[in-house]
Structure 1
Amino acid sequence: MYDIVNYEEAGTVQEAIRLLQANPRARLIAGGSDLLVKIYKGKITDAELVSLRGIIALKDISIEGDGTVRIGACATFSRIAGHPLIRKHVPVLAEAVSRVGGPQIRNIGTIGGNICNGVTSSDSAPTLFALNALLRLEGAGGTRVAPIQDFYLGPGKVDLRQAEVLTEILLTKENYQGFGGHYIKFAMREAMDIASLSCAAVCKIVGQNVIADFRLALGVAAPTPMRCLRAEEIARGRVFSEELLLETGRTAVTEVNPRTSWRATREYRLQLVEELSKRAFKQAFVKAGGVLL
């Protein structure tokens, strides 16, 4: 049973903002793959919804003259995974969102909803963290742009203010051009499962296998998705080697704070952090054009 007492469809972002202003209890809905489950299970009662699904502009994917890739918040995972701009410029993101649920979920679930749900197991979040994604948010007070790292406040909590709409995810050229990337989702079963741990790495090399830049992001390793900044710093400026892989993985373990759940114990997740960090780094290095010696 879906306990929905009011439902309105917005035709524009500004209309959605006005509807949210008029009714502070209203919640935004896009694909509904997360929200409708909560309503069905009784976690949300007397739901009042404002739908974004009719706003065509929020589904657009484009690239600006300065190389910034713009992804509308209502773009579905299927659309992102198959879009030629994403596959050409940020294939690691296509790789990550193709791991979300099954085909039905990917066809209706949106990247904006995945972010705003605020869960640490989000498949899109680690890759967006590694790519230094920016979020464009529009509200009654105007527009603001926030780094995705600042948007996650705690488990299931994000910095989405009242009467505010996430409209776009922005990936700037300097944060993806020349990088190779790799995403790993470790789950109890391969299909349609939530990650026990997830890991995204992006890497840029110069000269003879020297790591010019490296970023490592994890999901389910802390209350929110996170970057392993100390591990990243260790790798930069170093020649890629098995020794560097080991050092990076061990350092990543010191930065995380996973919990025990029915999916995995804290101790098991710590092992996964070390192993997946090494695997993702190695594959990102290869995809960046590095040569394994």
Structure 2
Amino acid sequence: MYDIKSFYEASSVSDAVDALVREPDAEIISGGTDVLIRVRNGRDTGKALVSIHNLNEWKGVRLTEDGDLWIGAGTAFSHITADPLIQRYVPMLGEAVDQVGGPQIRNVATIGGNICNGATSADSASTMCTLEAEVVLSGPNGQRVVPVCEFYTGPGKTVRERTEVCTHFLIRRENFEGWSGEYIKYGKRRAMEIATLGCAVRVKLSQDKTRFEDVRLAYGVAAPTPVRCRAAEDVLRGCAVADSQAAAAFAKTALTEVNPRSSWRASKEFRLQLVEELAKRALHAAVQKAGGIPYA
């Protein structure tokens, strides 16, 4: 049984915002793969739900006139993975969200819900951080844009106000053109598993594919929120792709920027081991995808 006060089907994003303003305990729902679990478990019982599940205006993937990638927050994971624009420009994102749950979950769960849920274990989060995606929110005071790296404030918490609706994400063309990347999810099982640790690496190589022009590194479950490791990125920028010592320093430096905890899934010590090892593995794979020859 689900203890729900009321259920309202919004006709537009603005209608959803109005409904959230009218009902002080209302909560947005789309796929419901997170919200309904919280209701069933007694955390959000008795709340009014405002559904935006059937709004086509916040679904799909397209290129803007400026060549940026627009991703609707209501786009289901399976649609993101299969989308031709995702496969062409940011296949890493499609591969990351294809590791969420099982096919049933991926067919209904949305990228907007995955980000706005605020979980550090979200498989889309670390990849979106390395893409420097922008979160676009609509609320009673209009629209605002928040960099995804500034979106999270704590475990399960974000800057999104209760009366705001996440409508879409923007990935600027300079953040995907000429870049390649790899996301590695470590879990106890190969599927239907929440990440013990997630590691995302993106690289931009020199024209001759021998040096790192730029690099980005982000983790999930390595801190209370998804975290970018900017000091580690600085270590590797400008180095030769075949430099094994630089790659090792890159992974070691990441250890100084994370703060994992012990849980029933894994100890802090094991997660720290994963932080270092997955950084090297994801970097190696990202270089190969970019057409470079990585360290042996």
Aligned to 1:122: 122
Ranges in structure 1 where 5+ consecutive residues have no aligned partner? none
Aligned to 1:2: 2
Q: Is the 8 A contact 2:183 2:282 kept in 1?
A: yes
Aligned to 2:288: 286
User: Could you tell me which of 266, 269, 283 is aligned with 1:267?
Assistant: 269
Shift of 1:41: 1.2
Aligned to 1:231: 232
Rounded to whole Å, the distance in 1 between the matches of 2:234 and 2:119 is 26
Rounded to whole Å, the distance in 2 between the matches of 1:86 and 1:292 is 25
3-state DSSP of counterpart to 2:256: helix
3-state DSSP of counterpart to 2:169: strand
Aligned to 1:209: 210
Aligned to 1:96: 96
Aligned to 1:196: 196
Rounded to whole Å, the distance in 1 between the matches of 2:201 and 2:11 is 38
Counterparts of 1:142-157 in structure 2, within 5 Å, are 142-157=142-157
Ranges in structure 2 where 5+ consecutive residues have no aligned partner? none
Rounded to whole Å, the distance in 2 between the matches of 1:23 and 1:106 is 30
| One-letter amino acid matched to 1:228 | C
Shift of 1:208: 4.7
Shift of 1:180: 0.7
Rounded to whole Å, the distance in 1 between the matches of 2:165 and 2:5 is 21
Aligned to 1:177: 177
| One-letter amino acid matched to 1:234 | V
Q: Is the 8 A contact 2:17 2:165 kept in 1?
A: yes
| One-letter amino acid matched to 2:231 | R
3-state DSSP of counterpart to 1:255: coil
Shift of 1:189: 0.8
Aligned to 2:160: 160
Instruction: Please state if 1:78 is matched with 2:72.
Output: no
| One-letter amino acid matched to 1:255 | E
Deviation string 1:118-152 (CA, Å, 9 cap, x unpaired) is: 00000000000000000111111111111001110
Aligned to 2:52: 52
Rounded to whole Å, the distance in 2 between the matches of 1:147 and 1:225 is 13
3-state DSSP of counterpart to 1:70: strand
Deviation string 1:18-77 (CA, Å, 9 cap, x unpaired) is: 001101210000100011111111121102100001211111211112211101000000
Shift of 1:292: 3.2
Q: Which moved more, 1:172-181 or 1:238-247?
A: 238-247
Rounded to whole Å, the distance in 2 between the matches of 1:162 and 1:259 is 28
Q: Which moved more, 1:241-250 or 1:230-239?
A: 241-250
- TM-score of the superposition, structure 2-length normalised? 0.97
Q: Is the 8 A contact 1:208 1:239 kept in 2?
A: no
Deviation string 1:200-253 (CA, Å, 9 cap, x unpaired) is: 000000035110000000000000000011100001111112111111111111
Deviation string 1:77-109 (CA, Å, 9 cap, x unpaired) is: 000000000000000001100000100000000
CA root-mean-square deviation: 0.9
Identity of aligned residues (%): 48
| One-letter amino acid matched to 1:84 | P
Instruction: Please state if 1:242 is matched with 2:244.
Output: yes
Rounded to whole Å, the distance in 2 between the matches of 1:34 and 1:205 is 38
Shift of 1:260: 0.1
3-state DSSP of counterpart to 1:80: helix
| One-letter amino acid matched to 2:127 | T
Aligned to 2:107: 107
Rounded to whole Å, the distance in 2 between the matches of 1:67 and 1:278 is 32
Aligned to 2:257: 255
Q: Which moved more, 1:191-200 or 1:42-51?
A: 42-51
3-state DSSP of counterpart to 1:254: coil
Shift of 1:162: 3.2
| One-letter amino acid matched to 1:212 | E
Rounded to whole Å, the distance in 1 between the matches of 2:148 and 2:276 is 24
Rounded to whole Å, the distance in 1 between the matches of 2:272 and 2:294 is 26
